[in-house]
């Protein structure tokens, strides 16, 4: 820049100092673009993390619902079996064929709901819970009281662990 004697302000000289202005402009543009890029990346990462949290919450809720249904099913089987045994061994038969027929129909309905109740646990897993559910089903089909007791206990332990309910 050259100072004109008649004017107290500097007179721009072509080619002198233009590089610094362009560098400042490029630096400002790069800084702005970097800020925008950083904001976009942070937003995408936040959305990804939120998506994973939502999926985990959804999965935990579906597992909870399935565990409650499956446990209710096992209790219904136990109650039905206890009723049938009480009639068979307690001399309470008294020719009440209708009552026995109703209990057997109830047991048949329970068997019909097994797939509906246990499938979500088999599909949604994890492997430990899936194995416990299958062992429980096998124990019921085998009509083995000891195996059913062990499998029921393992099912409860696995379910509590998966649902993070503690001991």
Contact 148, 139 (CB under 8 A): yes
pLDDT in tens, 142-152: 878 888 889 88
Model confidence at 54, in pLDDT bands (50, 70, 90)?
very high
pTM above 0.85, yes or no: no
- Evaluate if residue 114 carries a pLDDT over 80: no
Q: What pLDDT shows up at residue 122? A: 82
DSSP alpha helix (H) spans, 90-126: 97-124
CA–CA distance, 106 with 108 (Å, rounded to integer): 5
Three-state DSSP at 9 gives coil
């Amino acid at each position: 820049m050259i100072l004109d004697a008649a004017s107290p302000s500097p007179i721009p000289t072509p080619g002198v100092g233009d590089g610094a202005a362009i560098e400042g402009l490029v630096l400002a543009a790069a800084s702005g673009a970097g800020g925008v890029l950083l904001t976009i990346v942070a937003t995408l990462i936040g959305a990804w993390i939120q998506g994973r949290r939502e999926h985990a919450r959804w999965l935990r809720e579906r597992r909870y619902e399935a565990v409650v249904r499956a446990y209710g099913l096992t209790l219904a089987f136990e109650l039905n079996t206890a009723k049938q045994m009480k009639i068979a061994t307690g001399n309470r038969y008294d020719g009440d064929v209708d009552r026995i027929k109703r209990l057997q129909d109830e047991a048949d309905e329970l068997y019909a709901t097994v797939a509906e109740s246990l499938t979500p646990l088999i599909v949604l897993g994890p492997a430990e819970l899936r194995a416990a559910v299958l062992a429980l089903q096998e124990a019921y089909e085998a009509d083995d009281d000891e195996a059913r007791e062990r499998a029921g206990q393992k099912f409860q332990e696995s379910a509590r662990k998966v649902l993070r309910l503690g001991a």
